[in-house]
């Protein structure tokens, strides 16, 4: 690199990328740049609350455009990579994005954008002053880059970026309930990250590399004497904890109902899905032989997760905690797709992840409006909100149908794929549980809907009694709040009516996981 006199020249071509990169390929770092720069500028502008929402929404809009650009580029031109600092892979940290990563990034940034718009009116003033938007942007830096990176240690780093920003979001407002929830959330997620890092340490010790493409090559060739069982088990434990899978899911319903609805919406929509994405990436792409070995185990986890989520949703009285359990139930369906492991099963799981991101975020936003109108989240104290806002009732009913995977909404097609894959694979009982928990979810969310909107007043009061609505949504906020909720609801409906584009993306993502040849060639071929 040194051209100046006095420094001996060395041949750098054996260690560094020398060919110039195409200008358009630079779009792969655009999400990193946008989220970090906007997050940092918003942090500096904390004292000016009036700049927060416009700047934050502008940043999220740019992020959505950038991820859409990456997806368009990846769909037409195959996986896109860049290795930071010009070091040749596997020496440098590689960003490598295939259809799976790009579509996850796009859906998550769309969800974050809508929630960002909602939050511009939905937040209490103290929260916007203490930095909802900076933390949201920094959290999106973690989320998006986790989807884009091609280096497993770098994935850990982005996980932690996401985590520390989400800590900031969960304690915003500083109520006692939030502190309590934040402690549970923080300690257990740190523990999960420690398991992830332990597994990565073993993996590095055994293979001497952290580059996902090279790990995939080496593990397909087989490494004698490698503790691959231990590593897989630790990854399943660590990512399973992040994704809120069955035996390690209890932190989620204990904490996700405490932050503001806007923060809850991004948490429920995005964070657990990053864990699910990491499971897909490590188990299917990096360690395919181990996935077959852990097949039964993963199936058991998936069944446990689905049942826990659905039964938990049946047994709770707080609307937002019910939603927390519904998130878990959705994770179970994604894990079922993962456990089946065929192209169709994986595509179903990935499709369900997209659906769950959109619908769960929308339900949390709806819970925010319900809380504002009804003054509570408790099913025992709510009632008669249909009279207060038929529009909210309609949107919530649509979302209830969608989360129960009824046609013609987005969840239906994903569940069809997973169920069919399970039947083809000869696991009719798994298909039965997927459908059965769908019924339980319909019961739980439908009962919540009828108790919140249809009955006259809370339990104890005579039915049909005039219900005075304690809260009100100011007229100037209505357009933004209902508009953003309606946008997510419409997305679910449109995906349900016209599923083929997203389904093609999910299928391409699953195919890329099962056969990473293109991914590997992009990482190593692009450099030479």
Q: Choose, by CB under 8 A, the member of 454, 471, 480, 490 that binds other proteins.
A: 454
* Residue 230 interacts with other proteins (CB under 8 A): yes or no: no
Q: Which of residues 458-517 bind other proteins (CB under 8 A)?
A: 458-459, 463
Q: What residues numbered 183-202 form the site for other proteins, per CB under 8 A?
A: 183-184, 186-187, 190-191, 194, 197-198, 200-202
Residue 222 in the binding site for other proteins (CB under 8 A) = no
DSSP symbols for 362-431: HHHHHHHHHHHHHS--BTTT---HHHH-HHHHHHHHHHHHHHTT-TTSHHHHHHHHHHHHHHHTT-HHHH
* Rounded-to-integer distance, Cα 438 and Cα 449, Å: 16
Among 447, 478, 504, 521, binds other proteins (CB under 8 A): 447
Q: Using the rule CB under 8 A, which residue among 60, 182, 359, 508 binds other proteins?
A: 182
Distance between CA atoms of residues 146 and 96, nearest Å: 11
391 binds other proteins (CB under 8 A): no
Please say which residue, 180 or 472, places its beta carbon nearer to other proteins. Answer: 180
Here the tokens at position 482 are: 């209902």
Q: Which residue has the tokens 């830096």?
A: 141
Question: Which burial class, exposed, middle or buried, applies to 295 when counting CB atoms under 10 A from its CB (0-12, 13-18, 19+)?
Answer: middle
Per the CB < 8 A criterion, the answer to whether 87 and 464 are in contact is: no
94, containing H or E segment = strand 94-97
> Are 148 and 35 within 8 A, CB to CB?
no
Signed CA dihedral, 96, 99, 104, 107: sign only = positive
68 burial class (0-12, 13-18, 19+ CB within 10 angstroms)? middle
Q: Give yes or no for residue 134 binding other proteins (CB under 8 A).
A: yes
How many residues are listed for the chain in this entry? 528
**φ and ψ of 208, to 5 deg:** 70, 20
With respect to other proteins, which residue has the nearer C-beta, 164 or 473? 164
- Contact call for residue 225 and other proteins (CB under 8 A): no
180 binds other proteins (CB under 8 A): yes
Q: How many contiguous H segments (helices) and E segments (strands) does the chain have?
A: 23, 2
Contact 97, 120 (CB under 8 A): no
Among 362, 379, 506, 513, binds other proteins (CB under 8 A): 379
* Residue 129 touching other proteins (CB under 8 A): no
The H or E element spanning position 341 is none
Nearer Cβ to other proteins, position 51 or 198? 198
Q: Is the dihedral of CA 400, 406, 412, 417 positive or negative?
A: positive
Q: Is residue 442 a contact residue for other proteins (CB under 8 A)?
A: no
Pick the closer one to other proteins by CB: 61 or 164.
Answer: 164
Tokens of 111: 């969800």
Give me the least distance between CB of 19 and other proteins, in Å please. Answer: 9
Burial 101-129 (b: 16+ CB within 10 A, else e): bbbbbbbbbbbbbbbbbbbbbbbeeebbe
CB of 413 to other proteins, least distance (A): 30
**By CB under 8 A, residue 157 contacts other proteins:** yes
| Choice between 234 and 285, CB closer to other proteins | 234
Nearer to other proteins, 201 or 525 (CB): 201
Question: Could you say which residues in the range 251-280 bind other proteins, by CB under 8 A?
Answer: 254-255, 257-258
160 or 295: whose CB is closer to other proteins?
Answer: 160
Residue 241: both structure tokens together: 């904890």
| Cβ 186 to other proteins shortest distance, Å | 6
What spatial distance separates the first Cα and last Cα of the chain, rounded to whole Å? 18
- Can you say whether the dihedral through the CA atoms of 218, 222, 226, 231 is positive or negative? positive
Q: Is 46 in the site for other proteins (CB under 8 A)?
A: yes
Residue (322 or 333) nearer to other proteins, CB: 322
User: How far are the Cα atoms of 314, 404, 426 from residue 366, in angstroms, in the given order?
Assistant: 19, 16, 39
Residues 76 to 105 in contact with other proteins, rule: CB under 8 A: 82-86, 92
Kindly state whether residue 41 participates in binding other proteins, applying the rule CB under 8 A.
Answer: yes
In the complex, what is the shortest distance from the CB of residue 247 to other proteins, in angstroms, rounded to a whole number? Answer: 16
Which is nearer to other proteins, 26 or 424 (by Cβ)? 26
> Is residue 125 near other proteins by the rule CB under 8 A?
no
In the list 54, 77, 205, 470, the residue contacting other proteins (rule: CB under 8 A) is 205
| # chain residues binding other proteins, by CB under 8 A | 85
Question: Is position 57 an interface residue for other proteins (rule: CB under 8 A)?
Answer: no
Q: Which of residues 399-428 bind other proteins (CB under 8 A)?
A: none
Exactly one of 73, 415, 455, 467 binds other proteins (CB under 8 A); that residue is 455
Binding flag, residue 58, other proteins (CB under 8 A): no
528 binds other proteins per the rule CB under 8 A: no
Report in angstroms how near the CB of residue 497 gets to other proteins at its nearest.
Answer: 33
Scanning 215-223, 313-321, 358-366, 517-525 for contacts with other proteins by CB under 8 A, the matching segment is: 313-321
Among 160, 295, 425, 477, which residue interacts with other proteins (rule: CB under 8 A)? Answer: 160
Q: How far is the CB of 36 from other proteins (least distance, A)?
A: 5
Smaller CB distance to other proteins: residue 78 or 153? Answer: 153
User: Whole-number minimum distance, CB 139 to other proteins, in Å?
Assistant: 14
Distance CA 97, CA 372 (A): 41
């Amino acid at each position: 690199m040194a051209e100046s006199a006095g420094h001996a020249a060395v041949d750098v071509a054996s260690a560094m990328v020398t060919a110039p990169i195409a200008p358009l390929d630079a779009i792969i770092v655009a999400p990193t740049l946008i989220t970090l720069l906007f997050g940092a500028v918003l942090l500096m502008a904390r004292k000016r609350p009036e700049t927060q929402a416009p700047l934050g929404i502008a940043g999220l809009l740019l992020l959505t455009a950038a991820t859409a650009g990456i997806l368009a580029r990846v769909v037409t031109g195959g996986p896109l990579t860049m290795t930071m600092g010009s070091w040749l892979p596997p020496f440098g940290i590689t960003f490598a994005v295939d259809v799976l990563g790009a579509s996850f990034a796009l859906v998550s940034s769309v969800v974050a954008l809508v929630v960002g718009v909602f939050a511009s009116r939905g937040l209490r003033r103290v929260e916007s002053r203490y930095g909802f938007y900076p933390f949201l942007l920094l959290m999106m830096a973690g989320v998006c880059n986790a989807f884009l990176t091609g280096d497993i240690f770098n994935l850990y780093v982005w996980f932690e970026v996401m985590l520390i920003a989400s800590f900031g979001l969960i304690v915003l407002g500083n109520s006692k309930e939030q502190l309590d929830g934040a402690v549970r959330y923080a300690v257990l997620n740190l523990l999960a990250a420690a398991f992830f890092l332990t597994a990565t340490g073993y993996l590095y010790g055994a293979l001497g590399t952290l580059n996902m493409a090279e790990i995939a090559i080496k593990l397909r060739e087989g490494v004698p004497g490698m503790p691959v069982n231990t590593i897989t088990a630790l990854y399943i434990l660590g990512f399973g904890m992040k994704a809120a899978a069955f035996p390690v899911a209890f932190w989620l319903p204990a904490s996700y109902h405490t932050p503001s609805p806007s923060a809850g919406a991004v948490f429920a929509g995005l964070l657990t899905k990053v864990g699910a994405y990491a499971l897909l990436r490590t188990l299917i792409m990096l360690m395919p032989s181990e996935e077959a070995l852990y097949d039964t185990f993963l199936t058991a986890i998936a069944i446990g997760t689905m049942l826990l989520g659905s039964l938990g949703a049946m047994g709770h009285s707080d609307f937002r905690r019910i939603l927390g359990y519904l998130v878990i139930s959705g994770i179970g369906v994604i894990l079922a797709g993962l456990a089946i492991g065929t192209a169709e099963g994986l595509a179903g799981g990935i499709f369900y992840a997209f659906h769950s991101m959109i619908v769960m975020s929308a339900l949390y936003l709806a819970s925010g409006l319900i809380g504002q109108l009804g003054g509570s989240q408790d099913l025992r104290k709510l009632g008669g909100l249909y009279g207060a806002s038929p529009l909210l009732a309609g949107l919530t009913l649509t979302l209830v149908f969608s989360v129960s995977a009824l046609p013609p909404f987005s969840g239906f097609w994903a569940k069809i794929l997973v169920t069919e894959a399970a039947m083809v694979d000869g696991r009719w009982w798994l298909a039965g549980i997927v459908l059965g928990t769908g019924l339980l979810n319909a019961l739980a969310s439908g009962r919540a809907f009828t108790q919140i909107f249809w009955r006259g007043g809370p339990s104890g009061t005579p039915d049909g009694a005039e219900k005075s609505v304690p809260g009100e949504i100011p007229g100037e906020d209505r357009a933004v709040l209902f508009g953003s909720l309606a946008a997510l609801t419409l997305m679910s409906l449109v995906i349900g009516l016209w599923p083929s584009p997203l389904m093609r993306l999910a299928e391409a993502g699953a195919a890329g996981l099962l056969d990473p040849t293109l991914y590997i060639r992009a990482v190593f071929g692009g450099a030479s």
